A = this chain, B = another copy of it.
Amino acid sequence: MTIKPILDRVLIEPKRKENETKSGIILNASSTERPELGIVVALGSGKTCENETIDFELKINDKVLFNKYAGTEISLYGKDYLILKYCDILAVIE
């Protein structure tokens, strides 16, 4: 069973405290405005609510930075995911 995002939404598996040290990215847990890290799990079609078609500048398995408040949380088989609009993803970590 899979979650297929609609339109220009992206499904992300958040990677919080566990990979911060390895990646060198220190996300200050005390600051709620700092972005979070995650892995891209699924991409929507790229159509927007305004009927434009965008090209995603990221692909499945990319590590991305996003603002947590922008997404909608969901749990599937005990794993947490976020669905958020492509435009709320800030950067790809390569």
Contacts from A to B (Cβ < 8 Å): 1-7, 9, 11, 23-28, 31, 33-35, 44-45, 47-55, 57-58, 64-65, 67, 72-78, 83, 86-87, 89-94
- Could you list 25 examples of A-B contacts with CB < 8 Å? A2-B94, A3-B94, A4-B93, A4-B94, A5-B90, A6-B58, A6-B86, A6-B90, A6-B91, A7-B87, A9-B90, A24-B76, A25-B75, A26-B76, A26-B78, A27-B75, A31-B73, A33-B73, A35-B74, A50-B50, A51-B52, A51-B53, A65-B72, A65-B74, A72-B90
Number of copies: 7
- CB <8 Å contact, A24 and B77: yes
